[in-house]
Amino acid sequence: MARIVDELVGLGHEVHVVTSLPWYRDHAIEEGWDGRRVRREVTRWGSITRVDPFPGGDRSNLVRRAAGFVGFSALATAVALGAGGRRRRVDAVIAMSPPLTLGAAGRLVAAWRRAPLIFNVQDVFPDAAIETGAISSRWVIALARALERATYRASDVVTVLSDDLAENVRAKMPPARLHRVRVIPNFVDTEAIRPLDRSTAYRRELGLGDGPVVLYAGNVGFSQSLDLVLAAAARLDEVTFLVNGDGAARSALEEAARGLANVVFRGYIEPDRLAELLATGDVHVVPLRRGLGSVSVPSKTYSIMAAARPVVAAIDPGTEVPRMLAESGGGVAVGPDDAERFVDALRSVLDDPAEAARMGERGRRWVVDNASPAAVGAAYAEAIERLRAAPGGGGRPRKSRTQR
């Protein structure tokens, strides 16, 4: 989202951002940012207001996390009502999901600002949480589904990452509002993430040696079928498997990996070392549990391809990532939760380094041509301009808005 702001600013927009204090890496507000619930910074293009995300300490406590989402959404709403000037009219309000509660927050801010609402859906909730078993209470599911449908219907535009997500969202909207759903894919900064030599400083820091490394980088949560990684590690003992990230499922995964000497766990790396991290892996894996391919698009796939590394994905067939890999030639996709096929696919890529390198090159070319920040920024700018031009749409001054 930071890069989308950059692109909009480059197109002449004034932008006011309301977001959280930095907290995601360790599920706690980072050192140097604590002590105040709200911090505001005036920029040359608008402002950034960071508020307490109420993170809590236990990532697996879903009730506590839900309470944190509600608290953050309420505080962000209060702050956004005054961002950029008291009740100053803007051209559009953009709200992101998850958490789903930010849709209602965005609607309130949009009403106060007399502006249309663009609701950006990164993962379809509660569908993803239901599929993983993260929520099972019937009344919680019913409440979440009611909030989801109400938010879609109250939005002037709903942006999603893929055709699969678009179909899911349209199925929950009245026929007269289906045109409000628009596909704007995620993107990758191909200047910041470039192909690097596999002999990285990070590889040396971890003592991984010169042998093949299979890398999973990202959230270690319940949506990812990381048991497939352990199954592969048990059968490919000459290969090092690096799980680089944190999340609610990490402690259980580490426990399950006891006895597998070729599995290494590390936490999130500094953002400016992302290209180095991606280069450390010879092959990257993107496993997603059955049923989630149509409600979530793992954006890490774009970054892997930008780093010119081959992808082995285990995701529902016919969904966005398998289509992307087939179109680009940047990797192999098998069905979800099938250890045999996953291990076979991984072995075939590892056994042919020359073809793996060609996969990486093809993936890199594809993201350069199809997933640029400029294209995505322009798509959001066009959506804003259409809303401005519509009867009763955005107001003046021209090209100003609050983004959340």
Please check whether residue 330 is in contact with residue 363, taking contact to mean a CB–CB distance below 8 angstroms: yes
Q: Is residue 193 part of a domain?
A: no
71-110 pLDDT, tens digit per residue, is: 999 999 999 987 655 667 899 999 999 889 999 999 999 9
Please check whether residue 297 is in contact with residue 324, taking contact to mean a CB–CB distance below 8 angstroms: no
pLDDT of residue 135: 84
In the block, which residue shows the tokens 């930010």?
102
pLDDT of residue 59: 67
Same domain, 219 and 180: no
Q: Is residue 376 part of a domain?
A: yes
CATH code, domain carrying 59: 3.40.50.2000
Q: Tell how far CA 193 is from the center of its chain.
A: 17
What is d(CA 393, CA 401) in angstroms, rounded to the nearest whole number?
Answer: 12
Q: Is residue 195 part of a domain?
A: no
pLDDT of residue 1: 84
Residues 6+ apart with CB under 8 A from 26: 246, 267
pTM: 0.80
Same domain, 293 and 355: yes
Same domain, 14 and 153: yes
Domains identified in the chain, total number: 2
CA distances to 29, 48, 79, 184 from 35, in Å: 10, 18, 17, 37
Same domain, 157 and 212: no
In this structure, the dihedral spanned by the alpha carbons of residues 166, 169, 174 and 178, taken in order and rounded to 10 degrees, is -20
Largest CA distance in the chain: 65
Same domain, 239 and 93: no
Residues 6+ apart with CB under 8 A from 358: 329
Q: Tell how far CA 215 is from the center of its chain.
A: 18
3-state secondary structure (DSSP) of residue 184: coil
Question: What is the 8-class DSSP label of residue 320?
Answer: H
Range of the domain at 59: 2-187+372-403
Same domain, 43 and 97: yes
pLDDT of residue 24: 79
What is d(CA 303, CA 194) in angstroms, rounded to the nearest whole number?
Answer: 9
Q: Is residue 170 part of a domain?
A: yes
Q: Is residue 248 part of a domain?
A: yes
Residue stretches of the chain with pLDDT short of 50: 395-404
| Residue-wise DSSP of 98-148 | SSTHHHHHHHHHHHHHT--EEEEESB-TTHHHHHHTS---HHHHHHHHHHH
Q: Is residue 192 part of a domain?
A: no
